[in-house]
Chain A
Amino acid sequence: MNRKALGISIVSLCGAFLMAAPLGLKPYGIFILSMWAVMTIAAIGLNLTLGYAGQISLAQAAFVGIGAYVTAWLTTKGAWPFWPTYFLGFASCFAVGWLLGYPALRVQHHYLAFVTLAFNTLVFLVFRNEEWLTNGISGISNVPRPSLFGYSLNGGRAFYYFCLAHLAFVSVATWWLIRSPWGRAFVAVRENPMRALSLGVDTRRYTLMAFALGAGLGGVSGTLYAPLTQFVDPTPFALGLSLNLLLMVVLGGSGYFFGPFLGAMVAVLLPEWLRFTQGYYLMGYAVLVMVMMAFWPTGLLGLADRLFKK
């Protein structure tokens, strides 16, 4: 119970900090913190697929992209309100993610990594080359920010709280999911699919579901990304972001609930904090990541887990 009490206090403290943070930050700082919230949602999705169900995916950026384009396109050219695009972004990524799960029923590990990598490249090429649909490299600008009950979320601070609320909702839903029989079945698929199958666990269906839900959360992240940056072009959704999201999951602690939060903090915030080193900040960041991965391969939470158990 001690551990539970400690966990609750840490989470409450972090929550309070996140609520108060914008008061002491300049607009750029608030933007970066919003980006952290948005990327954490995508990383939580990947953590479901990879960390819990054990299916590697290098396509998470593609789903963030699909979600972003759905919202950007429909709220500008289609003049739709935000909310329908939000659900459509989730649903379309869920459906495409389900389909992308089929290769995982045949191949695993690095073979699966290559299948998903190819998918990410394919989606990126559609974003870049199909101008009639995506406006190509010119992108879609002036993506409007939504309003909530008549209250405009145009301001950086208001939109930050909007992203934070989504992160809170996604966190609670995911927490529920991983404690439910589904979460147990996901871990069973990861740890011993043969035994799981012999215990009545429909491993096919759970594998596809893990892909679909992970992709769906990528889509949710994208639908927030579009109004956050207010401009969507293909570049951010290339393979680099997929690798970055993978880094967030692994660095935070793959298969740990709070792993993506920490991992995204390192991947989104650390480079900004290192800016005082001027031109060296990305190099410093790279070295830090290499050191962390070499010494703590189970991620920051894996390390904490080991220290706590001693």
Chain B
Amino acid sequence: MNSVLQVKNLKKSFGGIVAVDGVSFDVAEKEILGIIGPNGSGKSTLFNCILGQLQPSAGDVRLDGRAVTGMRPCDLNRLGVSRTFQLLQIFPHLTVRANLILAGQEHQGSMLSRLVGRPDAGLSAAAERMLGFFRLEQLADEEAGGLSYGQQKLLDVAMAFMAGPRLALLDEPAGGVNPTMLANLRERLKTINAEQGATFVVIEHNMEFVMALCDRILVLAEGRVIAQGTPAEVRANPQVIEAYLGRG
């Protein structure tokens, strides 16, 4: 199968601290890859280096075989890579609908056409579908800042899919979401994966969520990959139990 994302020997150090220490992995098309590991194991730094938010100290990132190392996040996004962040990142003073339209508008036309063209950039219908898909339609005209945490989290994830990305990197999508909504979120992600053929990389601490969602799991500890495999293999790996999962 084709690799959508290839990461080779990626390194990032902050002064004397090595946060990511030579991480390599491939993500196949339509795969859902989970990344787990203890706090401070370099998961979010790895994301930020892949996505151009941070410049890696060394290493190589390729998207469909094309070198994209250190490319600006907005340019990467326009190549079909979207992401969410560990902490909620929405636009609190825009309505829920406007948040979604914003998340897709830069993929429509040129900068000039976005000034003189339609105010909704032709995305009203798509936003409506996304609202329905994430069950936010009742809240469409509310300011996003007024929503509950769980609803904001759904909006946060929904925004990452407005432009129909090929590859989505989600940093703790389940963090702080209640169990009912969590099942809903997992089912939504599975659907997007199946129907749109989107590839996922998901950082997550919620083991139940990650084991049920992912095809393959990568385990990081102290900036290095210590194990990888199917959820069952990873769960049984003694090194992983030692470093992260603990004995039940």
Contact = CB atoms under 8 A, between A and B. Distances in A.
Interface stretch (A37-45, A70-78, A191-199): A191-199
A205 B98 CA distance: 20
Interface stretch (B5-13, B38-46, B107-115, B229-237): B107-115
Interface string A101-126: 00000000000000000000000000
Nearest to A184: B102
Given A192-B90, A195-B90, A195-B91, A203 B105 contact: no
A255 B93 CA distance: 10
Interface stretch (B72-80, B187-195, B196-204, B216-224): B72-80
A187 B74 contact: no
B103 A199 contact: yes
Nearest to A195: B89
B78 A200 contact: yes
Nearest to A194: B89
Interface string B64-100: 0000000011100110001101000111111000100
B51 interface: yes
A266 interface: no
B102 A185 contact: yes
> Taking each of B73, B78, B114, which has the highest tally of chain A beta carbons within 10 Å of its own beta carbon?
B73
Contacts of B74: 197-203
A180 interface: yes
A198 B82 contact: yes
B157 interface: no
A191 B114 CA distance: 20
Contacts of A155: none
A185 B115 contact: no
Contacts of A200: 74, 77-78, 106-107, 163
Nearest to B109: A181
B94 A191 contact: yes
A89 to B, nearest CB: 21
A187 B9 CA distance: 38
Interface in B15-29: none
A127 B103 CA distance: 45
A194 B90 CA distance: 10
B174 interface: no
B124 interface: no
B159 interface: yes
Contact of A181 (B89, B105, B163): B105
Contacts of B91: 187-188, 191-192, 195-196
A197 B73 contact: yes
Best-buried of B89, B92, B101, B162 by chain A (most CB within 10 Å):
B89
B139 interface: no
A88 to B, nearest CB: 22
A179 interface: yes
Given A180-B114, A181-B121, A201 B106 contact: yes
Nearest 8 A-B pairs (CB), nearest first?
Answer: A200-B106, A195-B89, A200-B77, A181-B114, A181-B105, A197-B73, A191-B91, A179-B119
Interface of B: 51, 53, 72-74, 77-78, 82-83, 85, 89-94, 98, 101-103, 105-108, 111, 114-117, 119, 121, 159, 162-163
18 contacts: A179-B119, A181-B121, A185-B102, A188-B94, A191-B92, A191-B93, A192-B89, A194-B85, A197-B53, A197-B72, A198-B82, A198-B85, A198-B89, A199-B77, A199-B82, A199-B159, A199-B163, A255-B93
Interface of A: 177, 179-182, 184-185, 187-188, 191-192, 194-203, 205, 255
